[in-house]
Amino acid sequence: MARKRNKNQLAKKNKQKRNDRLVSAGFDPRGNQPYQEIVRENENFMNYYQHQKICKTPEEWDEFLKALRTDLPSTFRVTGSKKEANLLNDVIKKEFLAEYVSVVAELHQKDKSEVPPPRSFPWYPGGLAWELNFTRQDIRRSEPLLRLHNFLVTETNSGNISRQEAVSMIPPLVLDVHSHHKILDMCAAPGSKTAQIIEALHNDQDKGPPTGFVVANDVDNKRCYMLVHQAKRLNSPCCMIVNADASVFPRMKIQNSEGKLEYLKFDRILADVPCSGDGTMRKNPDIWTRWSIGQGNSLHGLQYRILKRGLELLDIGGRIVYSTCSLNPVENEAVISHMLQECDDAVELLDVSKEVEGLNYNPGMQYWEVCDNTEKKFYNKPEDMPERLASIIRPCMFPPQDPEVLKKLNLERCIRVLPQHNNTGAFFVAVLTKKKALPWRRNEDQDPPEWTAAEKAAEDGAPPPPKKRKQHQMGFKEDPFYFFTKDEPMFLEIKKEYDISEDFQPENLLRRSLVGKTKYIYYVTEATRNVISSNEKSIKIINAGIKAFTRCYNKQSDRCSFRLAQEGLPSLTSFIGPKRRIIVEKDDLIHLLKNIDPTNPPEITDVGKKMRDQLNLIEPGSCIVTYETDEICLNVAAWKGVRTVRAYTEVNDAVHCLRLLGADVSQYEQNKFKKVETADEVAEETNETTSDAQLMEEVAEES
């Protein structure tokens, strides 16, 4: 059996080597056809943007095209909300970036191409965002780069790093989020900006848990589950994910301090709207082949409606960020111009240049023209358009004809990032603030939110309005949220076991089913619970809360039925008393994290005396292992058995902690270079390798 398994593994290795050699020879291993390199040319694209003058000079246009035809560098940021962010950043500099330049330079020695060194973005706070220039081919050829790649994957899975395009980091940055803010992300999927907002919400953790929350929305039910995956990495009890159309997002309710319902007004809103996406051509080169003028024209109306709805939901004095990954002024400045004119003096475009110092960009455009997709003809004012275009090109897409009106809009305050400015993709950002009630919504907030349309009509003596057809809900039907009461038996059991303080509110714990034994207990903050309880019947809530406790099946009937979950420790550890908390030395924590295999847990006799004495004083069961210094505090969920103790955490989290402790993590790294050497030796002994000549003969036959 073992011999058969080894033979299969060897065959798999040889197949992978064959595929790698096919790729290097210019063939597709799946069909053995030569790769068709995408030609990064589109005459309509270039004519359109040259006419719109998105670049100020011919020299800038040449730089723009040159940058747009190159691949995008790899970028990532260290999670800034974590206490150990700076420590992890130091690990990145010392262990992974120190040899980066020499390694990449050696790989590119043949083509003599210049390799830019890794750099942190000067405009991102704390130097926690990085740019690296290496390709997938480089990773395949270099062991140090493979280690760096594996590091990024591991830390991303554990939520300590986010691999995100550089320009995508700008909108959450200028949103200016603080821990007390109520935030709505209108078009959130896939979730990288949502994750950044959650991090900002938790940045003031020294002052206690956030009193604000994030509502992350997307119209696509399937994409909502991508949001769930992104948010879960950050273990935040302040985030809820909902499924609704952003352009008609429902008015949510919230209970005030007196227990009465009132309309929920958001302090911060991100409207990263659907767009044509031609700013992502470096990352998605296939856009070159399918770009058309009509895409921007057709999206303008939807983009305007989303921004308008966002402003309606924004509180007075709040801030909304409108952004796209498009170059098209019809999707950018035209939407902002249209909105500002509709709002009169109720909304103002803000100058946020001081919030992104170090970022190179162009100011917003103040003149543009609208083009007909069929005849490729440009129009500079609505009166010149033929009647046939009336339903396609709207007057609101044009810039204001009156110079005084145009000056009042301050469109130059918009941010236009082009690829050559910072070696990134292209992006558009506009930051608006709401100064007073919108002209068309002066008296709306006077109606009590608990009134239905029928109740309002009855109050006015009018007949009730006709019933609306119920919208068909796509996707899975979500389980409801069942919140605990103060005398919930499960909580009383947990409170006794873990010495939960009286300050903790059990009403913030919930489960998703009343059928059978509860497997998981989740935790949300008080503000998040308020929003869920007040809106569960009016909007589809996909997910909320973090896993706080997990059922464990003890043989001892008198022990607690739930163990601590690692995901919930950052939020709950301050409420848990010293009864089941173990303070450990560095070496003991390293020993635990290196031996998380449940089949072979460490013996209590193997740990240091200080830890051993504490373990002997507590009964078997779940506990917290804590290691703390001036610069770091690590809390790990553990299980104390009769003779053993082990960390109850995921491998990625264990590796992260070990890195911060300066321990060796090579046992968790998959070094394919060592494996390939071993496989080559075995293959040579069994004569199962294929020569280059044989390989090309096989390709010719299969083609």
Q: How many CA atoms lie within 13 A of 445 on its CB side?
A: 16
CA atoms of 326 and 305, how far apart (whole Å): 17
Which letter, b or e, does each residue of 298-328 get, where b requires 16 or more Cβ atoms within 10 Å of its Cβ? ebbebbbbbbbbbbbbbbeebbbbbbbbbbb
Q: How many CA atoms lie within 13 A of 255 on its CB side?
A: 14
CA atoms of 692 and 697, how far apart (whole Å): 9
For residue 206, pLDDT beyond 80:
no
Torsion of CA 573, 574, 579, 585, to 10 degrees: 70
Q: Angle at CA 449, nearest 5°, toward 446 and 452? A: 110
Overall average pLDDT of the 456-470 stretch: 49
Overall average pLDDT of the 639-648 stretch: 92
Q: Looking at residue 84, what is its pLDDT?
A: 83
Phi, psi angles (nearest 5°) of residue 424:
-130, -170
CB–CB of 198/514 below 8 Å? no
Task: Assign 3-class secondary structure to 629-649.
Answer: CCCCEEEEEEEECCCEEEECC
Torsion of CA 376, 378, 383, 387, to 10 degrees: 0
Q: Identify the residue with better confidence: 19 or 533.
A: 533
Percent of the chain with pLDDT over 70: 82
Overall average pLDDT of the 646-650 stretch: 92
pLDDT grade for 27, boundaries at 50, 70 and 90: low
Question: What is the pTM for the complete model shown?
Answer: 0.86
Phi-psi region of 27 (alpha: psi -120 to 50; beta: other; left: phi over 0): beta
Q: Identify the residue with better confidence: 565 or 702.
A: 565
Torsion of CA 654, 659, 665, 668, to 10 degrees: 40
CA atoms of 409 and 281, how far apart (whole Å): 30
pLDDT, tens digit, for every residue of 290-310? 999 999 999 999 999 999 999
Q: Looking at residue 113, what is its pLDDT?
A: 64
Q: Looking at residue 19, what is its pLDDT?
A: 63
pLDDT, tens digit, for every residue of 484-530? 999 999 999 999 999 999 999 999 999 998 888 899 999 999 999 99
CB–CB of 165/424 below 8 Å? yes
Phi, psi angles (nearest 5°) of residue 665:
-120, 20
For residue 556, pLDDT beyond 80:
no
CB–CB of 409/363 below 8 Å? no
Rg (CA), the chain: 29
CA atoms of 161 and 230, how far apart (whole Å): 11
343 in active site: no
Q: Looking at residue 630, what is its pLDDT?
A: 83
Q: Looking at residue 116, what is its pLDDT?
A: 76
The SS3 call for residue 158 is coil
pLDDT grade for 444, boundaries at 50, 70 and 90: low
CA atoms of 400 and 432, how far apart (whole Å): 19
Q: How far is CA 324 from CA 60, 272, 329, 330, in A?
A: 22, 6, 11, 11
> To the nearest whole number, what is the mean pLDDT of the chain?
85
Q: Looking at residue 699, what is its pLDDT?
A: 41
CA atoms of 431 and 272, how far apart (whole Å): 12
Scanning the structure block, which residue is given the tokens 């500099």?
A: 93
Strands 645-647 and 633-640: antiparallel
Long-range pairs of 16-22 with CB within 8 A, sequence gap ≥ 24: 17/676, 17/689, 18/690, 18/695, 20/140, 21/692, 21/695, 22/695, 22/699
Q: Looking at residue 265, what is its pLDDT?
A: 96
For residue 438, pLDDT beyond 50:
yes
pLDDT, tens digit, for every residue of 89-136? 999 988 888 777 777 767 666 666 666 788 999 999 999 999 988 766
Instruction: Choose among 290, 269, 79: nearest CA to 187.
Output: 269
Q: Angle at CA 229, nearest 5°, toward 227 and 232? A: 105
Task: Point out the catalytic residue in the list 325, 371, 414, 560.
Answer: 325
pLDDT grade for 673, boundaries at 50, 70 and 90: low
Overall average pLDDT of the 530-538 stretch: 94
Q: DSSP letters along 85-121, please?
A: HHHHHHHIIIIISTTHHHHHHHHTTTTT---PPPEE-
Scanning the structure block, which residue is given the tokens 């064959």?
A: 18
Task: Assign 3-class secondary structure to 411-432.
Answer: HHHCEEECHHHHCCCCEEEEEE
Scanning the structure block, which residue is given the tokens 């090579």?
A: 666
Q: How many CA atoms lie within 13 A of 669 on its CB side?
A: 21
For residue 157, pLDDT beyond 90:
no
Phi-psi region of 539 (alpha: psi -120 to 50; beta: other; left: phi over 0): beta
Q: At what angle do helices 294-313 and 333-343 cross, to 10 degrees?
A: 40
* Tokens, residue 297: 């024209």
CA atoms of 427 and 279, how far apart (whole Å): 6
Lay out the sheet containing 633-640: strands in order across.
581-583, 621-628, 633-640, 645-647
pLDDT, tens digit, for every residue of 233-253? 899 999 999 999 999 999 999
CB–CB of 278/287 below 8 Å? yes
Q: Looking at residue 32, what is its pLDDT?
A: 52
Which of 21-30, 62-71, 431-440, 490-499 has the weakest average pLDDT?
Answer: 21-30
CA atoms of 542 and 48, how far apart (whole Å): 41
